[in-house]
Structure 1
Amino acid sequence: MTPVQSRVAAVLTATASIATLTATASVATLIATASVAMVCVNVWVTARLPQPSYTPLPFSPEDVAGVAFPILGALLVFQRPRLVIGWLLCLGGLCSALNSLTINLALLDAGHRLLPQEAVWTVAGVSWKLAILFLVVLLPLLYPDGRPPSPRWRALVWVSVAVLCADVLLMDLMPLAGQRYTSSGPHPLRFSLDMLTNAIMILAFASLAVRFRRAGREERRQILWTLIALATVIVPWVIGNPVWWLTSFTIPLVPVAITFSVLRHRLYGIDTLITRTLVGAGLVGVIGGVYVAVGTASSLFLSDVDRIGGLVAALCAGVFFHPMRRLLQRGADRLLYGGRGDPVALAAGLGRRLQRIAPEAGLSAALDVLRDGLAVTGAGVRFQGGWPEEVTVGTLEEVTRDIRLVWHGEPVGRLLIGPPGARRLPAAHNERVIAALTPYVADAAHAVRLVGALRRSRERIVTTREEERRRLRRDLHDGLGQSLSGMAMAINAARISLRTSPETAERMLAELRSGMDSVTGDIRHLVYGLRPPALDDLGLAGAVAEMAGPGVTVEVRGELPGLPAATEVAAYRIAQEALTNARRHAGAATVRVSLERGEDDLSVRVRDDGIGLPSGRRSGVGLASMRERAAELGGTCVITTPPEGGTVVEAILPVNLNVEI
């Protein structure tokens, strides 16, 4: 098949699909219109008959059923054309309207004999039996998914059809002119058929109980909606006179409950139906118009080659199909949502907006786009662990949706969505908007957490540095400074006593020598606090091996000499903290330390076979200090638990530092 033929086939297929949907909607509309028209005529006929004793209303419950069931059934057909429930409502309501109209026509014509009474009563009886079949037998059996609870229940459908046919045949053999269609006569066959019909109806409703017992939570809610509505009809019907006429007000609740239950959230998404109807009708009109116009032009100018003219017309219609569909879709969305109906466009616009603003402002921008796209009063993010503070756009006095935000498997927080604001129609595209924008919100929330963590880390680094300087100043002034001053005074005293009392001078010098050892220890303590001496004596690999001790495997890859001092200290301290945690908390039998130098970074990995990290853990001082030491140099430190167990601490530290002090 050539590309041109493929394009033509696609156009014809799309046109046929649109035509089928249009025809289906037209049939449902025709049934609803005919039923409503018969009810209107029946109200006019009823006004010319004596007022019935069972109702003070100018219409009967059958008239109400003839209006409510077909209209809501047509709505179901529009939304779910392949679901048989909508067609059952339409046909059942039509039969109910026909039954009521034919009975009243027969009663009105009883004294005039202008109508064939036997035929009218037969139509009334058949329509009543069909209404029972559609609404009382098939509807409970097939509700809510259009299939019986199990294949064994299909036999009940065929039995009910057979009983209906037998009853209709009996009506033809035993005409009941002038009698009520309910056939209260004593004929045993008629009585048996009536009893069998009642048994079938009871079994049909029993199928709902069977389905309810096997159904899940969502389907149980669907069945409960309908059962509650049926109770409002059954209770007055069981009581009978004088409250039977109240069913005229409760009968519409049954098709409303069925429609609500079947469509669920789609019932509020009627705007989807409107947009698709507008787009479909526009496409049919435009493509049909183009085809007719091109076909007419070809018949005038290419009358000798009409086959080529038809192909040209189809190609021109195909060329217009996709652009017109997009144009009509945008127009329908703008009509309903004010230009906010396309989740893909919202996501693309948000992506471009996030590229132009600072990371800390990205979350507010994402929430603002989400709030406008959903037309809600407000949206916000509540972060994991309560930090940072909650970010809110708009007014979020009430939360109607609470969605978990995850960034690459890591929980970030909760997305909070407020109630809908003022809009022309409730949005059926809400779920699509949420699905399209939630990843952007999660990314922006993670960026806010990163920026906040980096800011806090820098603040802690500056604070720690100043605290360390103050400690050094205090230790040098109060400790080492005072010791050196005392030693200087002791030297002067020893010099004075050297001539007059050599024994005293010798004792003072011996005490001075002991004091010098103490000062040397203080100096070593200060130096070790600044930088472990083992790094200068043994290098990074040797210092880590000495610190790890026996039983810990230390692997080295690459050349470690020549590393920046800050990188060496950070690697040493991270390994030290990881080994301490493995010994104290992990209960590990084996620990492995790996040092690997790459071209631009140094990898420090400490792995153990211990109990791993507990679920729901909160980072302590040790884990936070490892991350801060890595972040201080512009590196990263990740602590994970692999599937095989244990804990892995992996830090990536840069080796090309350009630090300004």
Structure 2
Amino acid sequence: MVLVANAVGLNVYRADNYQRPVAGLVLVAVMIGWTAFTVWAYADPARRTRVVLGLDLAVALALLLASPLVKGAGFSATVPGFWVMGALLAWAVHWRWRGGLVAALVLAVSDLAIREDVSQTNYGNAYLLVIGGVVIGGLAESLQRMAEQRDTAEREAAAAAERARLARAVHDGVLQVLALVQRRGSELGGDAAELGRLAGEQETVLRGLIHAQDAVPADGVAGTVDVAAELARLERPGVVVAGPGVPVELAGQAGRELVAAVRACLDNVERHAPGARSWVLLEAVGDRIEVSVRDDGPGIPEGRLSEAADQGRLGVSESIRGRVADLGGTATLTTGPEGTEWEISVPREGR
């Protein structure tokens, strides 16, 4: 609005320079109308399309080129004057320094081309247009990067705060209960002692998970994990792990989550089909990593998973399917009297 006010004021002041005053008045009216339209269009990001930006530069260029027609030969100031900066700034903000440079060159070259004599002042104005477009575009790019870095830092801080809150909640609740069960089980002896032993094991595992989570960067993607090596560590009596003879790399957090899902599958076999044997097969197929976890247990009775979910036991839905879904993959369960098989597939780049 400041630019159009300045342009209108200068054109009124230089009204005697027009050879075709009516045409000049039309051009000034076009500037006013187009400015009102662009203020409305640029106010909403959804309306800042390439078409609007292209038309904005085209209108500025047309008014610039029309100056000799309404003012005659030997004019000193164009009709739009500094008003063309509006289109230049829009291009610089939207397409950064490259957009600012392109728009500035188009306007500067056109301005110099329509003049009979190029004075030092005219050249200086054109030069400032080019420099201004590049500088404003560069500043816009820097501000965008700063905003992205700020958003990332805020997300990391929020994630760290949430991890700390969950760790406190687990420590104050679940870990203390497990420690109590372990102590009381040892005191009571018999079956309670076994329950206490299991509670102690789970307490140790849970503490390890909390410490591991604290060690994970907030962005969750730093480094990579060799899934083949991590799965090989799960091999034990009754569990056979097979995979390629080369590392299978996956982004850090994604790799840890995939290994945790496989571990959950094996834990389910150990818990619900004691004595059953399990086989883990890892394959890297194109842009995906596929893991099959199969056992020779009695299978899962029909309706058992729904019953477990209704009772709040979400091991399958969260520990396995939930983890895999968060990675952008799929986890398919097949079960029957011959055993149970999980087929897990995740994208190679993780999510």
Fold shared per TM-score above 0.5? no
Between 1 and 2, higher relative CO (CA 8 Å, sep ≥ 6) is seen in: 2
TM-score with structure 1 setting the length: 0.20
**Bigger Rg over Cα:** 1
TM-score with structure 2 setting the length: 0.36
